[in-house]
Structure 1
Amino acid sequence: MPIDFHDHNNQSTYASREAEASWIQTIERNVRLQGKRVLDIGCGGGIYTKALALSGAADVTGMDFSAEMLNGAAENCRDIPNISFAQGNALDTGLKDGQYDIVLERALIHHIRDLSACFQEAYRVMKPGGKFIIQDRTPEDCSLEGSSSHIRGYFFEKYPKLLQQEIQRRYSGIEVIDALRQTGFSLTAEFSYWETRRRYEDFEQLGLDLLGRTGRSLLFELTDNELSELVNFIGQRLVIGQPIQEQDRWTVWIAEK
């Protein structure tokens, strides 16, 4: 069954790692963060909220529709003074018009059915000239084969049903760009980005992470037995005893109001 983001037991599943240093470097090459007001919609466990706040933003607001996710985010970001959190919906944030210099929606839009309404709300809360950063996987990103670094590809090799579910909920680059332009945004950049998800000392550590479904909503579609079979399947394809650097390919779009 799908992950329940409102379940207390899932509070920390998206707060258990740090943003990759290369992620913030990639963002800073395209968007100036220094002194800016930032809104992180769909912040989950606050991983990227924290990264933005520690990279020179004046203040960062993390927003999520789940109170449990926000509780985990608050714990993850405790003692960082320029971070605040608010519960809200990506289609109706409840925020005032024209407040933010930058809006981030990372790993969010595949959960959204009405892309136009989502982008209209982001447009409304942004200042003129503000930057809109979207990061998500396209069907092409999802369809890459599994490898020693692209572990996710093995999910779909073992269970093709997962790939079909994944593709059905993902937007193509053309769909994202069309929705941005129809909303009034000007596209300034579109690029693929390989992000290191985590480094594991060995397969045993990776296996435990997979069995915990940590930060992987897709794995909640599997039963416990199916998940165990998947971990065994992946173990047969990796060199046991060697470190693993897991990466995922994303597409990033940056647009300006």
Structure 2
Amino acid sequence: MTIDFHDASNRHTYATREASDSWSVAMTALLDPMGMHVVDIGCGGGIYSTAWKKLGAAQVTGVDFSQQMLECARERTSHISGLTFKQGEASSTGLPAGAFDLVFERALIHHLDDYAGCFAEARRLMRDDGILLVQDRTAEDVAQPASAEHLRGYFFEKFPHLRALEAQRRPDPNTVACALRNAGLRLERVQSLWETRRRYDAFDAYAQELAARTGRSILHALSDDQLQELITYIRARVPAGALVERDRWTLWLARRA
């Protein structure tokens, strides 16, 4: 079983939180978004499209192939000016060439069979001095040990077969670098980021998200019974009280060659 991004029941799965300060600090350390025209490809419910606007971008365009998620994004951001959403594919957005200072792709490339079309489209959209910023998890990122902060690690500790599924779909850094180069892009920087995903007042709030598989597509590989087993397993291993969930990511920053 995998997530169906076009199913109305999943339309809110990537729209129920805000980008954390840890992410904002990392982004502004890499670049100055003030006044930029940004395209957020694979925007889902618009969490990071909204975040770029808050960081000072002049205009943000979110692109996703799921009409359901775009409708959710529009609903939750209707009060924000300079933020629009468009249905399109990562390799064919339908947006004008050379129109963007920043092309942002978070949690996108691990859903793609290859990166050639995606990165070629990113280059087409970029201005001459534009930036492509890719954020995704590698196999090494997801293999970090489980802890009270790296809660996702318990998924693979409890169900080792999920680790194999993750390894199959996670981007290899060398493959990403090669695909960028073949698309006419110059890789300038690669770095890790520990991003705070969310803070929870108590375990039950976290458990409710897991039970709904909110924002965690790998959980669609578990049955409902297995999911409940996972929740029980994690509950027994984390301290009572508030939780801070963090995940490790890899960032690739590239420009036109």
TM-score class, shorter-chain normalisation, is over 0.9
Secondary structure of residue in 2 paired with 1:95: coil
Q: Residue 128 of structure 1 corresponds to which residue in structure 2? A: 128
Measured after TM superposition, the shift of residue 9 of structure 1 is 1.1
- Asked if structure 2 preserves the Cα contact closer than 8 Å seen for 1:149 and 1:244, the reply is yes
Measured after TM superposition, the shift of residue 22 of structure 1 is 2.1
Tell me whether 1:205 sits opposite 2:205 in the alignment: yes
- Asked if structure 2 preserves the Cα contact closer than 8 Å seen for 1:31 and 1:131, the reply is no
Q: Residue 78 of structure 2 corresponds to which residue in structure 1? A: 78
| 1:81-137 C-alpha deviation (Å, 9 max, x unpaired) | 110110000011112211111000000000011211110111011111100000000
Give the AA of the match of 2:76: N
Alpha-carbon distance in 1 for matches of 2:130, 2:246: 30
Q: Residue 53 of structure 2 corresponds to which residue in structure 1? A: 53
Q: Structure 1: which 4+ aligned runs deviate by more than 2 Å?
A: none
1:54-203 matched pairs, under 5 angstroms: 54-203=54-203
Identity %: 48
1:208-247 matched pairs, under 5 angstroms: 208-240=208-240, 242-247=241-246
- Asked if structure 2 preserves the Cα contact closer than 8 Å seen for 1:198 and 1:245, the reply is yes
Measured after TM superposition, the shift of residue 73 of structure 1 is 0.7
Tell me whether 1:254 sits opposite 2:249 in the alignment: no
5+ residue gaps in structure 1?
A: none
Tell me whether 1:14 sits opposite 2:17 in the alignment: no
Alpha-carbon distance in 1 for matches of 2:216, 2:75: 20
Alpha-carbon distance in 1 for matches of 2:43, 2:85: 9
Give the AA of the match of 2:245: E
| 1:37-89 C-alpha deviation (Å, 9 max, x unpaired) | 11000000100000101211110000000000101111121210110110000
Secondary structure of residue in 1 paired with 2:230: helix
Alpha-carbon distance in 2 for matches of 1:77, 1:144: 34
Alpha-carbon distance in 2 for matches of 1:199, 1:80: 25
Alpha-carbon distance in 2 for matches of 1:228, 1:41: 33
Structure 1 window deviating more from structure 2 (123-132 vs 19-28): it is 19-28
Alpha-carbon distance in 2 for matches of 1:193, 1:229: 30
Alpha-carbon distance in 1 for matches of 2:47, 2:230: 27
Q: Residue 33 of structure 2 corresponds to which residue in structure 1? A: 33
Superposition TM-score, scaled by structure 1 size: 0.97
Alpha-carbon distance in 2 for matches of 1:147, 1:56: 35
CA RMSD of aligned residues (A): 0.9
Measured after TM superposition, the shift of residue 203 of structure 1 is 1.3
Count how many residue pairs are aligned between Structure 1 and Structure 2. 256
Q: Residue 44 of structure 1 corresponds to which residue in structure 2? A: 44
Give the AA of the match of 2:139: P
Alpha-carbon distance in 1 for matches of 2:234, 2:31: 38
Measured after TM superposition, the shift of residue 222 of structure 1 is 0.7
Structure 1 window deviating more from structure 2 (29-38 vs 61-70): it is 29-38
